[in-house]
Chain A
């Protein structure tokens, strides 16, 4: 079993829909990261959070440490949000990340 699991693996939605991507992990962590990978391959860090909730524009990330679960929400989705969204966790005392396999999101106009 992978230490970081994402669901769904693939998600297709219509423009304007509210999107939720989930991430569950089975190890102790110091922080959880959400990243976005565009079709060209480059990766951008969206959020790093260790508790509660963070918001940036139409993106909201939440984490429940007790349940070892995080969600990434996109409000008023747009075709330009189409990308692979990746969850990763960092553990204490090192710089290494444990990566989820990613969720491929397609937003249709």
Chain B
């Protein structure tokens, strides 16, 4: 079955450490997104990509980086520059021009040790 796989489900980061969250989809979707979710708040867009080898900053890109070397993969790195990384991170994808077919991964909870 097609879908989006995020890993790991739980991740712990030490001070000054970079960590990478994985997002893989086998839906053949062009567009992929990374969102951050904090308790009681709406999802906030970190980065998005509409095509391989291209991506754009969202509303809260500072302290994060991404790559889109393959259509199916859109990893997110939380760098040491992100001072408040504790949050739930969600990856999503959809076909080009079709937000109606928006699929989400199951999320990664990142916490700081």
Interface residues of A (CB under 8 A from B): 2, 4, 31, 33, 40-45, 48, 86, 88, 90, 95-102
Is B113 interfacial (CB 8 A cutoff)? no
Nearest-CB residue, chain A, relative to B92: A43
Nearest-CB residue, chain A, relative to B38: A101
Output the residue of A48, A90, A97, A102 with the most chain B CB within 10 A. Answer: A97
Known: A40-B106, A95-B50. 13 other contacts (CB 8 A): A33-B99, A42-B104, A43-B104, A45-B102, A45-B104, A48-B99, A48-B100, A90-B99, A95-B94, A95-B99, A98-B42, A99-B42, A99-B43
Question: In the assembled complex, which residues on chain A have CB atoms less than 8 Å from the CB atom of B50?
Answer: 95
Interface residues of B (CB under 8 A from A): 31, 33, 40-45, 48, 50, 58, 88, 90, 92, 94, 99-107, 109
A95 to B: closest C-beta gap in Å: 5
Nearest-CB residue, chain A, relative to B43: A99
With A31-B99, A33-B99, A95-B99 given, is the CB distance from A44 to B104 under 8 Å?
Answer: yes
